Protein backbone atom coordinates (compact mmCIF):
# COMPACT_ATOMS: atom_id res chain seq x y z
CA UNK A 1 0.00 0.00 0.00
CA UNK A 2 2.90 2.34 0.68
CA UNK A 3 4.05 2.01 -2.94
CA UNK A 4 0.51 2.72 -4.19
CA UNK A 5 0.24 5.76 -1.95
CA UNK A 6 3.51 7.14 -3.32
CA UNK A 7 2.32 6.66 -6.89
CA UNK A 8 -0.92 8.43 -6.10
CA UNK A 9 1.04 11.31 -4.57
CA UNK A 10 3.20 11.61 -7.67
CA UNK A 11 0.12 11.43 -9.92
CA UNK A 12 -1.53 14.23 -7.99
CA UNK A 13 1.62 16.29 -8.15
CA UNK A 14 2.16 15.81 -11.88
CA UNK A 15 -1.47 16.62 -12.56
CA UNK A 16 -1.04 19.84 -10.65
CA UNK A 17 2.10 20.69 -12.60
CA UNK A 18 0.27 20.16 -15.90
CA UNK A 19 -1.74 23.33 -15.33
CA UNK A 20 -0.40 26.73 -16.33
CA UNK A 21 -2.22 28.73 -13.68
CA UNK A 22 0.62 28.53 -11.17
CA UNK A 23 2.61 31.66 -10.51
CA UNK A 24 5.45 29.92 -8.72
CA UNK A 25 6.93 26.43 -8.76
CA UNK A 26 7.45 24.47 -5.49
CA UNK A 27 10.67 25.27 -3.63
CA UNK A 28 11.90 21.67 -3.62
CA UNK A 29 11.15 21.15 -7.32
CA UNK A 30 12.70 22.36 -10.57
CA UNK A 31 10.25 22.48 -13.47
CA UNK A 32 11.48 22.60 -17.06
CA UNK A 33 9.65 23.31 -20.30
CA UNK A 34 11.21 21.23 -23.07
CA UNK A 35 10.39 19.47 -26.32
CA UNK A 36 10.31 15.80 -25.28
CA UNK A 37 8.05 14.28 -27.95
CA UNK A 38 11.02 12.27 -29.24
CA UNK A 39 10.94 9.88 -26.27
CA UNK A 40 10.02 6.41 -27.50
CA UNK A 41 11.22 4.37 -24.54
CA UNK A 42 13.17 4.85 -21.31
CA UNK A 43 14.89 1.45 -21.40
CA UNK A 44 18.63 2.28 -21.53
CA UNK A 45 19.18 -0.64 -23.91
CA UNK A 46 16.84 1.06 -26.38
CA UNK A 47 17.06 4.82 -25.78
CA UNK A 48 18.67 6.53 -28.75
CA UNK A 49 16.91 9.89 -28.71
CA UNK A 50 18.02 13.16 -27.16
CA UNK A 51 15.29 13.54 -24.52
CA UNK A 52 15.37 9.90 -23.45
CA UNK A 53 19.15 10.10 -23.32
CA UNK A 54 18.93 12.96 -20.85
CA UNK A 55 16.66 10.91 -18.58
CA UNK A 56 18.98 7.88 -18.68
CA UNK A 57 22.01 10.08 -17.97
CA UNK A 58 20.40 11.24 -14.70
CA UNK A 59 18.87 7.94 -13.57
CA UNK A 60 21.66 5.43 -14.22
CA UNK A 61 25.40 5.13 -13.57
CA UNK A 62 28.15 3.62 -15.77
CA UNK A 63 31.49 1.94 -15.22
CA UNK A 64 33.32 5.04 -16.52
CA UNK A 65 32.50 8.61 -17.48
CA UNK A 66 34.35 11.38 -19.28
CA UNK A 67 35.49 14.56 -17.58
CA UNK A 68 33.15 17.39 -18.58
CA UNK A 69 35.99 19.89 -18.20
CA UNK A 70 38.17 17.81 -20.55
CA UNK A 71 36.18 15.14 -22.43
CA UNK A 72 39.41 13.45 -23.57
CA UNK A 73 39.94 12.30 -19.95
CA UNK A 74 38.06 9.38 -18.38
CA UNK A 75 37.40 8.61 -14.73
CA UNK A 76 35.74 5.81 -12.78
CA UNK A 77 32.03 6.13 -12.11
CA UNK A 78 30.94 2.76 -10.72
CA UNK A 79 34.44 1.45 -11.39
CA UNK A 80 36.98 2.22 -8.67
CA UNK A 81 39.82 1.27 -11.02
CA UNK A 82 40.57 -0.71 -14.15
CA UNK A 83 43.49 -2.42 -15.84
CA UNK A 84 44.14 -3.59 -19.40
CA UNK A 85 45.85 -6.82 -20.46
CA UNK A 86 49.09 -6.58 -22.48
CA UNK A 87 47.28 -7.66 -25.66
CA UNK A 88 44.70 -4.83 -25.18
CA UNK A 89 41.83 -7.33 -25.32
CA UNK A 90 40.81 -7.88 -21.67
CA UNK A 91 39.72 -5.10 -19.32
CA UNK A 92 39.40 -5.75 -15.59
CA UNK A 93 37.19 -3.42 -13.56
CA UNK A 94 37.12 -3.19 -9.77
CA UNK A 95 33.74 -1.86 -8.60
CA UNK A 96 33.30 0.76 -5.90
CA UNK A 97 32.11 -0.69 -2.58
CA UNK A 98 28.78 0.11 -0.93
CA UNK A 99 26.96 1.34 -4.04
CA UNK A 100 23.23 0.63 -3.93
CA UNK A 101 20.51 0.76 -6.54
CA UNK A 102 17.34 2.77 -5.96
CA UNK A 103 15.69 -0.46 -4.77
CA UNK A 104 18.28 -0.86 -2.01
CA UNK A 105 19.90 -3.84 -3.74
CA UNK A 106 23.72 -3.70 -3.62
CA UNK A 107 25.59 -3.25 -6.91
CA UNK A 108 27.65 -6.33 -7.81
CA UNK A 109 29.61 -7.66 -10.76
CA UNK A 110 26.59 -9.84 -11.59
CA UNK A 111 24.65 -6.66 -12.38
CA UNK A 112 27.37 -5.59 -14.82
CA UNK A 113 27.27 -8.98 -16.58
CA UNK A 114 23.47 -8.90 -16.79
CA UNK A 115 23.42 -5.30 -18.05
CA UNK A 116 25.78 -6.09 -20.92
CA UNK A 117 23.97 -9.34 -21.66
CA UNK A 118 20.53 -7.71 -21.95
CA UNK A 119 21.87 -4.82 -24.09
CA UNK A 120 23.59 -7.23 -26.49
CA UNK A 121 20.75 -9.77 -26.68
CA UNK A 122 18.04 -7.14 -27.11
CA UNK A 123 20.28 -5.39 -29.66
CA UNK A 124 18.08 -2.33 -30.04
CA UNK A 125 19.22 0.79 -31.93
CA UNK A 126 22.27 1.57 -29.71
CA UNK A 127 23.26 -2.08 -29.35
CA UNK A 128 25.97 -1.80 -32.01
CA UNK A 129 28.06 0.31 -29.65
CA UNK A 130 28.73 -2.91 -27.71
CA UNK A 131 28.35 -5.57 -30.40
CA UNK A 132 31.05 -3.92 -32.52
CA UNK A 133 33.55 -5.39 -30.04
CA UNK A 134 32.61 -8.95 -30.93
CA UNK A 135 29.96 -9.39 -28.22
CA UNK A 136 27.05 -11.53 -29.39
CA UNK A 137 24.00 -13.06 -27.72
CA UNK A 138 25.81 -16.40 -27.80
CA UNK A 139 29.15 -15.32 -26.29
CA UNK A 140 28.38 -12.27 -24.15
CA UNK A 141 28.36 -14.17 -20.85
CA UNK A 142 31.77 -15.64 -21.72
CA UNK A 143 33.16 -12.26 -22.82
CA UNK A 144 31.78 -10.39 -19.79
CA UNK A 145 32.46 -12.30 -16.57
CA UNK A 146 32.14 -11.75 -12.84
CA UNK A 147 35.44 -12.73 -11.18
CA UNK A 148 33.98 -12.01 -7.74
CA UNK A 149 31.27 -9.72 -6.36
CA UNK A 150 33.31 -6.58 -7.04
CA UNK A 151 35.44 -7.56 -10.04
CA UNK A 152 34.36 -7.97 -13.64
CA UNK A 153 36.33 -8.64 -16.83
CA UNK A 154 35.30 -7.65 -20.34
CA UNK A 155 37.09 -9.27 -23.27
CA UNK A 156 36.90 -7.83 -26.78
CA UNK A 157 37.62 -9.61 -30.06
CA UNK A 158 40.44 -7.39 -31.34
CA UNK A 159 43.13 -5.07 -29.91
CA UNK A 160 41.23 -1.82 -30.30
CA UNK A 161 42.74 1.46 -29.16
CA UNK A 162 41.90 1.35 -25.40
CA UNK A 163 40.61 4.92 -25.45
CA UNK A 164 38.08 3.92 -28.09
CA UNK A 165 36.69 0.99 -26.09
CA UNK A 166 36.60 2.92 -22.81
CA UNK A 167 34.88 5.87 -24.48
CA UNK A 168 32.20 3.49 -25.74
CA UNK A 169 31.51 2.49 -22.15
CA UNK A 170 30.44 6.09 -21.46
CA UNK A 171 27.45 5.57 -23.80
CA UNK A 172 23.98 5.15 -22.31
CA UNK A 173 23.67 1.60 -23.63
CA UNK A 174 26.48 0.63 -21.22
CA UNK A 175 24.74 1.78 -18.02
CA UNK A 176 24.36 -0.75 -15.22
CA UNK A 177 20.86 -1.88 -14.29
CA UNK A 178 19.60 -3.55 -11.11
CA UNK A 179 19.51 -7.17 -12.30
CA UNK A 180 17.40 -8.45 -9.39
CA UNK A 181 14.71 -5.82 -9.96
CA UNK A 182 14.67 -6.23 -13.73
CA UNK A 183 14.56 -10.04 -13.52
CA UNK A 184 11.59 -9.74 -11.17
CA UNK A 185 9.78 -7.88 -13.95
CA UNK A 186 10.76 -10.12 -16.87
CA UNK A 187 8.01 -11.58 -19.05
CA UNK A 188 8.60 -14.48 -21.42
CA UNK A 189 12.36 -13.95 -21.37
CA UNK A 190 12.21 -10.29 -22.49
CA UNK A 191 14.91 -9.11 -20.03
CA UNK A 192 12.32 -6.79 -18.48
CA UNK A 193 12.07 -4.86 -21.76
CA UNK A 194 8.36 -4.03 -21.60
CA UNK A 195 8.65 -2.99 -17.96
CA UNK A 196 11.80 -0.88 -18.34
CA UNK A 197 10.27 1.16 -21.15
CA UNK A 198 8.32 3.10 -18.51
CA UNK A 199 10.16 2.29 -15.28
CA UNK A 200 13.73 2.49 -14.05
CA UNK A 201 16.22 0.24 -12.29
CA UNK A 202 19.23 2.47 -11.75
CA UNK A 203 21.56 3.74 -9.09
CA UNK A 204 21.88 7.33 -10.30
CA UNK A 205 21.17 10.75 -8.83
CA UNK A 206 17.46 10.55 -9.65
CA UNK A 207 14.75 7.91 -9.86
CA UNK A 208 12.07 7.84 -12.54
CA UNK A 209 8.67 8.35 -10.94
CA UNK A 210 6.41 8.94 -13.94
CA UNK A 211 6.50 9.40 -17.70
CA UNK A 212 3.56 10.24 -19.91
CA UNK A 213 4.41 10.34 -23.60
CA UNK A 214 4.22 13.82 -25.15
CA UNK A 215 3.28 15.26 -21.74
CA UNK A 216 5.96 15.10 -19.06
CA UNK A 217 8.30 13.04 -16.92
CA UNK A 218 9.02 13.31 -13.20
CA UNK A 219 12.28 12.38 -11.49
CA UNK A 220 12.75 12.12 -7.74
CA UNK A 221 16.11 12.57 -5.99
CA UNK A 222 18.02 9.54 -4.74
CA UNK A 223 19.12 10.54 -1.22
CA UNK A 224 21.50 7.56 -1.09
CA UNK A 225 23.36 8.28 -4.33
CA UNK A 226 27.02 7.34 -3.84
CA UNK A 227 28.13 10.76 -5.17
CA UNK A 228 25.96 12.59 -2.61
CA UNK A 229 22.27 13.44 -2.44
CA UNK A 230 21.06 15.96 -5.05
CA UNK A 231 20.07 19.37 -3.70
CA UNK A 232 16.70 19.46 -5.47
CA UNK A 233 14.16 16.84 -4.43
CA UNK A 234 12.26 16.61 -7.69
CA UNK A 235 12.66 17.52 -11.36
CA UNK A 236 9.60 17.78 -13.62
CA UNK A 237 10.09 18.17 -17.36
CA UNK A 238 6.96 19.20 -19.27
CA UNK A 239 6.54 18.82 -23.02
CA UNK A 240 5.96 22.30 -24.42
CA UNK A 241 6.39 22.22 -28.18
CA UNK A 242 6.30 25.94 -28.98
CA UNK A 243 9.22 28.19 -27.96
CA UNK A 244 6.81 31.11 -27.55
CA UNK A 245 4.81 29.11 -25.00
CA UNK A 246 8.00 28.13 -23.18
CA UNK A 247 8.99 31.79 -22.93
CA UNK A 248 5.60 32.85 -21.53
CA UNK A 249 5.67 30.08 -18.91
CA UNK A 250 9.20 31.12 -17.90
CA UNK A 251 8.31 34.79 -17.64
CA UNK A 252 5.25 34.02 -15.51
CA UNK A 253 7.26 31.76 -13.21
CA UNK A 254 5.25 28.65 -14.09
CA UNK A 255 8.49 26.93 -15.06
CA UNK A 256 12.07 27.41 -13.85
CA UNK A 257 13.77 26.51 -17.15
CA UNK A 258 12.90 26.93 -20.81
CA UNK A 259 15.10 24.61 -22.84
CA UNK A 260 14.15 25.22 -26.49
CA UNK A 261 13.87 28.96 -26.95
CA UNK A 262 14.43 30.19 -30.50
CA UNK A 263 16.41 33.19 -31.66
CA UNK A 264 13.38 35.50 -31.34
CA UNK A 265 12.47 34.24 -27.88
CA UNK A 266 16.04 34.62 -26.61
CA UNK A 267 16.21 38.17 -27.97
CA UNK A 268 12.94 39.04 -26.24
CA UNK A 269 14.10 38.01 -22.74
CA UNK A 270 17.54 39.64 -22.81
CA UNK A 271 16.31 42.64 -20.83
CA UNK A 272 14.42 40.59 -18.23
CA UNK A 273 16.40 40.84 -14.99
CA UNK A 274 14.68 37.75 -13.57
CA UNK A 275 15.94 35.44 -16.31
CA UNK A 276 19.46 34.15 -16.99
CA UNK A 277 20.68 32.54 -20.20
CA UNK A 278 23.08 29.61 -19.91
CA UNK A 279 25.03 28.45 -22.97
CA UNK A 280 26.75 25.14 -23.66
CA UNK A 281 28.48 23.82 -26.78
CA UNK A 282 26.75 20.71 -28.08
CA UNK A 283 28.03 18.00 -30.40
CA UNK A 284 24.65 17.84 -32.16
CA UNK A 285 24.75 17.94 -35.95
CA UNK A 286 21.66 19.12 -37.89
CA UNK A 287 21.41 17.49 -41.29
CA UNK A 288 19.19 16.20 -44.11
CA UNK A 289 19.28 12.45 -44.85
CA UNK A 290 18.55 11.55 -48.49
CA UNK A 291 17.20 8.00 -48.90
CA UNK A 292 19.10 6.25 -51.69
CA UNK A 293 16.09 4.05 -52.38
CA UNK A 294 14.63 7.10 -54.14
CA UNK A 295 16.03 6.93 -57.72
CA UNK A 296 16.36 10.70 -58.05
CA UNK A 297 18.14 11.11 -54.72
CA UNK A 298 20.48 8.23 -55.62
CA UNK A 299 22.02 10.28 -58.44
CA UNK A 300 25.39 11.78 -57.35
CA UNK A 301 24.68 15.06 -59.16
CA UNK A 302 21.35 15.43 -57.34
CA UNK A 303 22.95 14.83 -53.96
CA UNK A 304 25.50 17.54 -54.62
CA UNK A 305 22.93 19.90 -56.14
CA UNK A 306 20.87 19.78 -52.94
CA UNK A 307 23.95 20.84 -50.97
CA UNK A 308 24.16 23.96 -53.16
CA UNK A 309 20.44 24.62 -52.62
CA UNK A 310 20.50 25.40 -48.91
CA UNK A 311 20.88 29.05 -47.96
CA UNK A 312 22.97 28.29 -44.88
CA UNK A 313 23.79 31.91 -44.06
CA UNK A 314 20.21 33.11 -44.33
CA UNK A 315 18.90 30.27 -42.15
CA UNK A 316 21.51 31.02 -39.52
CA UNK A 317 20.84 34.74 -39.58
CA UNK A 318 17.05 34.60 -39.59
CA UNK A 319 16.15 31.38 -37.78
CA UNK A 320 18.91 29.87 -35.61
CA UNK A 321 21.30 32.69 -34.67
CA UNK A 322 22.71 32.04 -31.20
CA UNK A 323 21.50 28.42 -31.12
CA UNK A 324 23.29 26.85 -34.11
CA UNK A 325 26.50 27.54 -36.00
CA UNK A 326 27.14 26.63 -39.67
CA UNK A 327 28.95 23.29 -39.92
CA UNK A 328 29.25 20.95 -42.90
CA UNK A 329 31.19 17.91 -41.65
CA UNK A 330 30.01 14.88 -39.68
CA UNK A 331 32.48 15.34 -36.80
CA UNK A 332 31.47 18.16 -34.46
CA UNK A 333 33.92 20.88 -33.55
CA UNK A 334 35.97 19.71 -30.58
CA UNK A 335 36.41 16.09 -31.72
CA UNK A 336 39.69 14.61 -32.91
CA UNK A 337 39.80 15.03 -36.70
CA UNK A 338 36.97 17.56 -36.97
CA UNK A 339 37.28 19.94 -39.92
CA UNK A 340 35.69 23.35 -40.41
CA UNK A 341 35.63 23.26 -44.24
CA UNK A 342 32.49 24.78 -45.71
CA UNK A 343 32.59 23.80 -49.41
CA UNK A 344 28.91 24.57 -50.05
CA UNK A 345 27.05 27.86 -50.23
CA UNK A 346 23.68 28.81 -51.71
CA UNK A 347 24.20 28.67 -55.48
CA UNK A 348 20.98 27.89 -57.45
CA UNK A 349 22.77 28.29 -60.80
CA UNK A 350 25.35 25.63 -59.85
CA UNK A 351 22.56 23.40 -58.55
CA UNK A 352 20.60 23.71 -61.80
CA UNK A 353 23.73 22.73 -63.74
CA UNK A 354 24.08 19.58 -61.68
CA UNK A 355 20.38 18.74 -61.97
CA UNK A 356 20.61 19.06 -65.75
CA UNK A 357 23.56 16.65 -65.76
CA UNK A 358 21.40 14.24 -63.81
CA UNK A 359 18.70 14.45 -66.48
CA UNK A 360 16.40 16.52 -64.27
CA UNK A 361 16.60 20.05 -65.76
CA UNK A 362 13.11 20.91 -64.50
CA UNK A 363 13.61 19.50 -61.04
CA UNK A 364 11.46 16.81 -59.42
CA UNK A 365 9.02 16.21 -56.56
CA UNK A 366 10.06 14.72 -53.24
CA UNK A 367 8.88 14.56 -49.60
CA UNK A 368 10.61 15.37 -46.30
CA UNK A 369 9.53 14.05 -42.89
CA UNK A 370 9.66 16.95 -40.46
CA UNK A 371 9.33 16.92 -36.68
CA UNK A 372 6.66 19.45 -35.70
CA UNK A 373 8.81 21.58 -33.41
CA UNK A 374 10.80 24.73 -33.96
CA UNK A 375 13.35 25.42 -35.28
CA UNK A 376 13.00 22.19 -37.31
CA UNK A 377 9.75 23.34 -38.95
CA UNK A 378 11.11 26.78 -39.80
CA UNK A 379 14.34 25.33 -41.24
CA UNK A 380 12.36 22.82 -43.32
CA UNK A 381 10.18 25.58 -44.71
CA UNK A 382 13.27 27.65 -45.58
CA UNK A 383 14.79 24.65 -47.39
CA UNK A 384 11.48 24.15 -49.21
CA UNK A 385 11.63 27.73 -50.50
CA UNK A 386 15.33 27.39 -51.41
CA UNK A 387 14.78 24.22 -53.43
CA UNK A 388 11.83 25.71 -55.30
CA UNK A 389 14.32 28.06 -56.99
CA UNK A 390 15.68 25.05 -58.88
CA UNK A 391 12.29 23.54 -59.64
CA UNK A 392 12.33 21.00 -56.81
CA UNK A 393 8.89 20.61 -55.27
CA UNK A 394 9.46 19.64 -51.65
CA UNK A 395 6.44 18.43 -49.71
CA UNK A 396 6.82 18.56 -45.93
CA UNK A 397 5.25 15.72 -43.96
CA UNK A 398 4.85 16.86 -40.32
CA UNK A 399 4.80 14.50 -37.35
CA UNK A 400 5.95 14.24 -33.76
CA UNK A 401 9.42 12.95 -32.90
CA UNK A 402 8.30 9.35 -32.41
CA UNK A 403 6.42 9.24 -35.73
CA UNK A 404 9.20 10.73 -37.83
CA UNK A 405 11.95 8.66 -36.19
CA UNK A 406 10.02 5.41 -36.55
CA UNK A 407 9.57 6.05 -40.27
CA UNK A 408 13.22 7.05 -40.66
CA UNK A 409 14.45 3.92 -38.92
CA UNK A 410 12.28 1.81 -41.23
CA UNK A 411 13.89 3.47 -44.30
CA UNK A 412 10.48 4.46 -45.67
CA UNK A 413 11.25 8.19 -45.95
CA UNK A 414 12.44 10.21 -48.93
CA UNK A 415 14.24 12.90 -46.94
CA UNK A 416 14.53 13.28 -43.17
CA UNK A 417 15.55 16.45 -41.37
CA UNK A 418 17.08 15.63 -38.04
CA UNK A 419 19.84 15.91 -35.49
CA UNK A 420 22.54 13.48 -34.48
CA UNK A 421 24.42 13.66 -31.22
CA UNK A 422 27.55 11.72 -30.23
CA UNK A 423 27.07 8.70 -27.98
CA UNK A 424 30.61 8.89 -26.59
CA UNK A 425 33.60 11.22 -26.86
CA UNK A 426 35.51 9.47 -29.61
CA UNK A 427 35.37 10.42 -33.32
CA UNK A 428 34.20 6.93 -34.22
CA UNK A 429 30.80 7.69 -32.64
CA UNK A 430 29.87 9.91 -35.60
CA UNK A 431 32.22 8.39 -38.18
CA UNK A 432 30.59 5.00 -37.73
CA UNK A 433 27.03 6.19 -38.21
CA UNK A 434 27.67 8.64 -41.07
CA UNK A 435 30.41 6.74 -42.93
CA UNK A 436 29.95 3.01 -42.27
CA UNK A 437 27.32 0.68 -43.69
CA UNK A 438 28.66 -2.86 -43.57
CA UNK A 439 25.44 -4.50 -44.74
CA UNK A 440 22.76 -2.63 -46.70
CA UNK A 441 20.20 -5.44 -46.34
CA UNK A 442 16.90 -4.78 -44.57
CA UNK A 443 17.84 -7.16 -41.76
CA UNK A 444 21.32 -5.72 -41.18
CA UNK A 445 22.68 -6.06 -37.65
CA UNK A 446 24.16 -2.55 -37.60
CA UNK A 447 21.64 0.10 -38.61
CA UNK A 448 23.70 3.28 -38.86
CA UNK A 449 22.54 6.54 -40.46
CA UNK A 450 24.29 5.46 -43.65
CA UNK A 451 22.17 2.29 -43.52
CA UNK A 452 18.99 4.26 -42.77
CA UNK A 453 19.57 6.17 -45.99
CA UNK A 454 20.41 2.95 -47.89
CA UNK A 455 23.88 4.24 -48.79
CA UNK A 456 25.97 1.21 -49.74
CA UNK A 457 29.65 2.11 -49.13
CA UNK A 458 31.90 -0.95 -48.66
CA UNK A 459 35.18 0.89 -49.33
CA UNK A 460 34.46 3.91 -47.12
CA UNK A 461 33.22 1.52 -44.42
CA UNK A 462 36.56 -0.32 -44.46
CA UNK A 463 38.62 2.89 -44.31
CA UNK A 464 36.54 4.33 -41.51
CA UNK A 465 36.47 1.11 -39.50
CA UNK A 466 40.25 0.71 -39.69
CA UNK A 467 40.82 3.97 -37.81
CA UNK A 468 39.70 2.48 -34.48
CA UNK A 469 42.87 0.38 -34.48
CA UNK A 470 45.18 3.33 -35.20
CA UNK A 471 47.08 4.16 -32.02
CA UNK A 472 49.01 7.09 -33.53
CA UNK A 473 46.81 10.08 -32.76
CA UNK A 474 48.15 12.22 -35.61
CA UNK A 475 47.58 9.49 -38.18
CA UNK A 476 44.11 8.84 -36.83
CA UNK A 477 43.29 12.54 -37.00
CA UNK A 478 44.48 12.77 -40.62
CA UNK A 479 42.41 9.70 -41.49
CA UNK A 480 39.18 11.25 -40.25
CA UNK A 481 39.92 14.53 -41.99
CA UNK A 482 40.36 12.74 -45.34
CA UNK A 483 37.16 10.72 -44.93
CA UNK A 484 35.16 13.83 -43.97
CA UNK A 485 36.27 15.67 -47.11
CA UNK A 486 35.31 12.73 -49.32
CA UNK A 487 32.04 12.39 -47.39
CA UNK A 488 31.17 16.06 -47.94
CA UNK A 489 31.45 15.55 -51.69
CA UNK A 490 29.67 12.22 -52.22
CA UNK A 491 27.41 11.44 -49.26
CA UNK A 492 23.59 11.57 -49.14
CA UNK A 493 23.82 13.88 -46.13
CA UNK A 494 23.33 17.63 -46.33
CA UNK A 495 25.09 18.63 -43.10
CA UNK A 496 24.16 22.16 -42.14
CA UNK A 497 24.71 23.17 -38.51
CA UNK A 498 26.16 22.31 -35.11
CA UNK A 499 24.03 23.19 -32.10
CA UNK A 500 24.79 25.62 -29.32
CA UNK A 501 22.44 24.72 -26.47
CA UNK A 502 20.84 27.58 -24.55
CA UNK A 503 18.89 27.04 -21.35
CA UNK A 504 17.05 30.08 -20.01
CA UNK A 505 16.19 29.97 -16.31
CA UNK A 506 14.79 32.01 -13.44
CA UNK A 507 17.57 33.68 -11.47
CA UNK A 508 16.65 31.83 -8.25
CA UNK A 509 17.53 28.51 -9.90
CA UNK A 510 20.95 27.37 -11.08
CA UNK A 511 23.25 24.38 -11.49
CA UNK A 512 22.03 22.60 -14.62
CA UNK A 513 25.06 21.09 -16.38
CA UNK A 514 24.94 21.35 -20.17
CA UNK A 515 27.38 18.75 -21.41
CA UNK A 516 28.39 17.97 -24.99
CA UNK A 517 25.67 15.31 -25.33
CA UNK A 518 22.17 14.70 -23.99
CA UNK A 519 23.34 12.15 -21.40
CA UNK A 520 25.73 14.74 -19.96
CA UNK A 521 22.96 17.28 -19.33
CA UNK A 522 22.94 16.67 -15.59
CA UNK A 523 20.49 17.63 -12.84
CA UNK A 524 22.46 16.50 -9.77
CA UNK A 525 23.94 19.97 -9.14
CA UNK A 526 20.67 21.88 -9.55
CA UNK A 527 19.88 24.29 -6.74
CA UNK A 528 16.95 26.58 -5.93
CA UNK A 529 16.39 29.32 -3.39
Instruction: Give the architecture-level CATH label for domain 23-39+204-274+507-528.
Output: 3-Layer(aba) Sandwich (3.40)
Fold classification of 281-500 (topology level): Dipeptide-binding Protein; domain 3 (3.10.105)
> Residue 137 pLDDT > 80, yes or no?
yes
Q: What percent of the chain shows pLDDT beyond 70?
A: 96
Burial of 465: CB neighbours in 10 Å, binned 0-12, 13-18, 19+ = middle
Among residues 384, 382, 459, the alpha carbon closest in space to that of 415 is found at 384
More confident residue, 473 or 303: 303
pLDDT for residue 23 = 58
Quickly state the pLDDT bin for 473 (edges 50, 70, 90): confident
Quickly state the pLDDT bin for 101 (edges 50, 70, 90): very high
Q: What is the pLDDT of residues 487-497, one digit of tens each?
A: 999 999 999 99
Determine the Cα angle at 202 with ends 198 and 138, to 5°. Answer: 85
Q: What is the pLDDT of residues 363-405, one digit of tens each?
A: 999 999 999 998 999 999 999 999 999 999 999 999 999 999 9
Least confidently predicted of 124-128, 244-248, 304-308, 452-456 = 124-128
Same fold across 23-39+204-274+507-528 and 61-197: no
Quickly state the pLDDT bin for 1 (edges 50, 70, 90): very low
pTM, entire model: 0.82
Query: Between 3.60.150.10, 3.30.465.10, 3.40.50.10800, 3.90.76.10, what CATH number should domain 61-197 receive?
Result: 3.90.76.10
Q: Are 196 and 114 in contact (CB under 8 A)?
A: no
Annotate 447-488 with DSSP letters as a single string: --HHHHTT---HHHHHHHHHGGG---HHHHHHHHHHHHHHHH
> What's the DSSP call for residue 173?
G
- What is the radius of gyration, based on Cα positions, of the chain? 23
186: which residues sit within 8 A by CB, 6+ positions away?
A: 192, 195
Residue spans per domain, the chain: 23-39+204-274+507-528, 61-197, 281-500
pLDDT for residue 337 = 94
Dist CA 239 CA 231 (whole Å): 24
Amino acid sequence: MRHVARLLTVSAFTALMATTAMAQTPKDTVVMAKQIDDIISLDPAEVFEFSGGEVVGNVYDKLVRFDLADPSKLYGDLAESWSISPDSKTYTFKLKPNVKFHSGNPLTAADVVYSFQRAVVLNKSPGFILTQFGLTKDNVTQMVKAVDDKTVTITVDKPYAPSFFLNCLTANVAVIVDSKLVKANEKAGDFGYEWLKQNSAGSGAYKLRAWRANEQYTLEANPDWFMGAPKVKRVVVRHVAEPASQRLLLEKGDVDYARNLSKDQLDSIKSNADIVQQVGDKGYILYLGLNQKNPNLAKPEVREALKYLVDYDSIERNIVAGTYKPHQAFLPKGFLGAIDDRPYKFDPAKAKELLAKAGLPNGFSVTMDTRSVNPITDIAQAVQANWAQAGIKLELIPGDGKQTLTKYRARTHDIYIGQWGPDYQDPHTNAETFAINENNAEDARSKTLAWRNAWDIPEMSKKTGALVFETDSDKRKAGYEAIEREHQKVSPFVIMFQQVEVAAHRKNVDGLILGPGSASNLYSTLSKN
